[in-house]
Protein backbone atom coordinates (compact mmCIF):
# COMPACT_ATOMS: atom_id res chain seq x y z
CA UNK A 1 0.00 0.00 0.00
CA UNK A 2 1.40 3.35 -1.03
CA UNK A 3 1.07 6.57 0.90
CA UNK A 4 1.14 10.08 -0.59
CA UNK A 5 4.02 12.34 0.49
CA UNK A 6 2.79 15.29 -1.56
CA UNK A 7 4.66 17.15 -4.29
CA UNK A 8 8.21 16.89 -2.96
CA UNK A 9 11.51 16.90 -4.88
CA UNK A 10 12.71 13.39 -4.02
CA UNK A 11 14.49 10.61 -5.91
CA UNK A 12 16.94 7.82 -4.99
CA UNK A 13 19.88 7.85 -5.26
CA UNK A 14 20.67 11.57 -5.13
CA UNK A 15 24.24 12.81 -5.66
CA UNK A 16 26.19 15.35 -3.61
CA UNK A 17 28.27 17.21 -6.21
CA UNK A 18 30.73 19.99 -5.47
CA UNK A 19 30.22 22.63 -8.16
CA UNK A 20 33.18 25.00 -8.57
CA UNK A 21 33.44 28.29 -10.44
CA UNK A 22 35.32 31.60 -10.35
CA UNK A 23 33.31 34.40 -8.81
CA UNK A 24 33.11 37.74 -10.67
CA UNK A 25 36.29 38.92 -8.87
CA UNK A 26 38.16 35.78 -9.99
CA UNK A 27 38.16 33.99 -6.63
CA UNK A 28 37.44 30.20 -6.60
CA UNK A 29 34.01 29.43 -5.18
CA UNK A 30 32.25 26.23 -4.33
CA UNK A 31 28.77 24.92 -3.63
CA UNK A 32 27.10 21.60 -2.97
CA UNK A 33 24.42 20.50 -5.43
CA UNK A 34 22.23 17.45 -5.01
CA UNK A 35 19.95 18.35 -7.88
CA UNK A 36 21.44 17.28 -11.14
CA UNK A 37 22.74 14.41 -13.23
CA UNK A 38 23.77 13.42 -16.72
CA UNK A 39 21.60 15.09 -19.37
CA UNK A 40 22.77 13.83 -22.77
CA UNK A 41 25.44 11.71 -24.45
CA UNK A 42 26.11 13.75 -27.62
CA UNK A 43 27.06 16.40 -26.84
CA UNK A 44 27.88 14.92 -23.43
CA UNK A 45 26.04 17.12 -20.93
CA UNK A 46 25.50 17.31 -17.18
CA UNK A 47 22.95 19.45 -15.34
CA UNK A 48 23.06 21.11 -11.93
CA UNK A 49 20.25 23.27 -10.57
CA UNK A 50 21.17 26.40 -8.61
CA UNK A 51 19.11 29.06 -6.84
CA UNK A 52 19.44 32.53 -8.44
CA UNK A 53 20.46 34.02 -5.05
CA UNK A 54 23.64 31.89 -4.92
CA UNK A 55 27.07 33.36 -5.65
CA UNK A 56 27.70 30.31 -7.87
CA UNK A 57 24.72 31.30 -10.05
CA UNK A 58 26.25 34.69 -10.78
CA UNK A 59 29.73 33.16 -11.16
CA UNK A 60 28.72 30.50 -13.68
CA UNK A 61 26.78 32.98 -15.80
CA UNK A 62 29.74 35.41 -15.75
CA UNK A 63 32.33 32.82 -16.86
CA UNK A 64 30.06 30.47 -18.83
CA UNK A 65 31.92 27.58 -17.18
CA UNK A 66 31.95 25.35 -14.10
CA UNK A 67 33.28 22.04 -12.87
CA UNK A 68 31.33 19.17 -11.32
CA UNK A 69 33.49 17.49 -8.70
CA UNK A 70 32.58 14.04 -7.37
CA UNK A 71 33.51 13.88 -3.69
CA UNK A 72 34.33 10.66 -1.89
CA UNK A 73 33.22 9.57 1.57
CA UNK A 74 36.27 11.14 3.25
CA UNK A 75 35.02 14.56 2.08
CA UNK A 76 31.55 14.33 3.68
CA UNK A 77 32.25 17.15 6.16
CA UNK A 78 33.57 19.45 3.43
CA UNK A 79 30.57 18.67 1.20
CA UNK A 80 28.12 19.39 3.98
CA UNK A 81 29.98 22.60 4.89
CA UNK A 82 29.88 23.84 1.27
CA UNK A 83 26.11 23.37 1.36
CA UNK A 84 25.42 25.36 4.54
CA UNK A 85 27.74 28.37 4.15
CA UNK A 86 27.64 31.08 1.46
CA UNK A 87 30.70 31.95 -0.61
CA UNK A 88 29.78 35.58 0.08
CA UNK A 89 30.73 35.01 3.72
CA UNK A 90 33.69 32.64 3.59
CA UNK A 91 36.42 31.28 1.34
CA UNK A 92 34.89 27.83 1.24
CA UNK A 93 37.91 26.16 -0.38
CA UNK A 94 40.19 27.37 2.43
CA UNK A 95 37.75 26.66 5.28
CA UNK A 96 37.01 23.18 3.98
CA UNK A 97 40.69 22.37 3.46
CA UNK A 98 40.24 21.89 -0.28
CA UNK A 99 42.61 22.86 -3.10
CA UNK A 100 41.41 24.85 -6.13
CA UNK A 101 43.26 23.91 -9.31
CA UNK A 102 42.85 25.92 -12.53
CA UNK A 103 41.15 23.72 -15.11
CA UNK A 104 43.03 22.92 -18.30
CA UNK A 105 40.13 23.51 -20.65
CA UNK A 106 37.47 25.75 -19.07
CA UNK A 107 37.44 28.97 -17.04
CA UNK A 108 36.69 27.33 -13.69
CA UNK A 109 38.68 25.74 -10.87
CA UNK A 110 38.37 22.09 -9.88
CA UNK A 111 38.75 20.40 -6.49
CA UNK A 112 42.06 18.52 -6.36
CA UNK A 113 40.86 16.22 -3.55
CA UNK A 114 37.89 14.85 -5.55
CA UNK A 115 38.57 11.53 -7.31
CA UNK A 116 36.60 12.45 -10.46
CA UNK A 117 36.02 15.91 -11.95
CA UNK A 118 34.10 17.16 -15.01
CA UNK A 119 35.21 20.32 -16.81
CA UNK A 120 32.11 21.97 -18.31
CA UNK A 121 31.22 24.89 -20.52
CA UNK A 122 27.80 26.40 -19.89
CA UNK A 123 25.66 25.13 -22.78
CA UNK A 124 22.05 26.03 -21.90
CA UNK A 125 20.13 27.40 -18.95
CA UNK A 126 16.53 26.52 -18.09
CA UNK A 127 14.48 28.72 -15.76
CA UNK A 128 12.60 26.40 -13.39
CA UNK A 129 11.25 28.86 -10.83
CA UNK A 130 13.17 28.45 -7.58
CA UNK A 131 16.17 27.03 -9.45
CA UNK A 132 17.97 27.67 -12.70
CA UNK A 133 19.13 24.49 -14.37
CA UNK A 134 22.66 24.99 -15.64
CA UNK A 135 23.35 22.49 -18.41
CA UNK A 136 27.08 22.06 -18.95
CA UNK A 137 28.73 20.58 -22.00
CA UNK A 138 31.32 18.14 -20.65
CA UNK A 139 34.65 19.07 -22.24
CA UNK A 140 36.73 16.56 -20.28
CA UNK A 141 36.47 14.14 -17.36
CA UNK A 142 39.53 13.54 -15.21
CA UNK A 143 39.91 10.70 -12.71
CA UNK A 144 42.63 9.82 -10.26
CA UNK A 145 45.01 7.25 -11.65
CA UNK A 146 44.20 3.75 -10.46
CA UNK A 147 40.41 4.24 -10.71
CA UNK A 148 40.14 3.33 -14.37
CA UNK A 149 41.64 1.61 -17.34
CA UNK A 150 41.03 3.62 -20.48
CA UNK A 151 37.56 4.91 -19.52
CA UNK A 152 34.27 3.87 -17.85
CA UNK A 153 33.44 1.80 -15.96
CA UNK A 154 35.53 3.11 -13.11
CA UNK A 155 36.00 1.05 -9.95
CA UNK A 156 33.12 2.53 -7.95
CA UNK A 157 34.42 1.06 -4.67
CA UNK A 158 37.66 3.01 -5.16
CA UNK A 159 35.81 6.18 -6.26
CA UNK A 160 33.82 5.75 -3.00
CA UNK A 161 31.23 8.43 -3.91
CA UNK A 162 28.69 9.96 -1.55
CA UNK A 163 24.99 9.22 -1.87
CA UNK A 164 22.72 11.88 -0.38
CA UNK A 165 19.52 10.75 1.31
CA UNK A 166 17.40 13.88 0.89
CA UNK A 167 16.83 15.68 4.18
CA UNK A 168 18.66 12.95 6.04
CA UNK A 169 22.24 11.78 5.77
CA UNK A 170 25.14 10.82 3.49
CA UNK A 171 25.82 7.20 2.60
CA UNK A 172 28.51 5.21 0.87
CA UNK A 173 27.80 2.99 -2.12
CA UNK A 174 27.35 -0.66 -1.13
CA UNK A 175 27.72 -4.11 -2.66
CA UNK A 176 27.47 -4.93 -6.34
CA UNK A 177 24.29 -6.81 -7.22
CA UNK A 178 24.64 -7.51 -10.92
CA UNK A 179 26.26 -6.60 -14.20
CA UNK A 180 24.52 -3.99 -16.37
CA UNK A 181 23.31 -4.96 -19.84
CA UNK A 182 23.58 -8.55 -18.67
CA UNK A 183 21.41 -9.60 -15.70
CA UNK A 184 18.24 -8.57 -17.57
CA UNK A 185 18.91 -11.05 -20.37
CA UNK A 186 17.34 -13.75 -18.15
CA UNK A 187 13.93 -12.14 -18.81
CA UNK A 188 14.21 -11.87 -22.60
Which listed residue (24, 26, 40, 91) binds a copy of itself by CB under 8 A?
40
Rounded Cα–Cα distance for residues 8 and 55 (Å):
25
Rounded Cα–Cα distance for residues 172 and 163 (Å):
6
Which listed residue (43, 52, 53, 88) binds a copy of itself by CB under 8 A?
43
CB under 8 A: which stretch of 23-31, 55-63, 150-158 binds a copy of itself? 150-158
CB under 8 A: which stretch of 20-28, 56-64, 114-122 binds a copy of itself? 114-122
Positions 68 through 107 that interact with a copy of itself (CB under 8 A): 68, 70, 73, 76-85, 95-97
Positions 7 through 26 that interact with a copy of itself (CB under 8 A): 7-15, 17
Count of CB atoms within 10 A of residue 2's CB?
4
How many chain residues are in contact with a copy of itself, going by CB under 8 A? 102
What three-state secondary structure class fits 11? Answer: coil
8 A C-beta contact, residue 131 and residue 95:
no
Burial pattern 7-26, b for ≥16 Cβ within 10 A else e, equals eeeeeeebbbbbbbbbbeee
- The number of CA neighbours under 13 Å toward the Cβ of 41 is 0
Which listed residue (35, 55, 108, 122) binds a copy of itself by CB under 8 A?
35
CB under 8 A: which stretch of 18-26, 35-43, 54-62 binds a copy of itself? 35-43
In the bound complex, what is the minimum distance in angstroms from residue 61's beta carbon to a copy of itself? Answer: 17
Amino acid sequence: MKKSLGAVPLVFPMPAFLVASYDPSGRPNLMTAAWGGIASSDPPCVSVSIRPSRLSHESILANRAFTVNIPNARLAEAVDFAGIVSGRQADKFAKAGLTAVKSDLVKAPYVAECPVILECELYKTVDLGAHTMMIGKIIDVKAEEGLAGEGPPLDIDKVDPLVYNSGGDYHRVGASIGKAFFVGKNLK
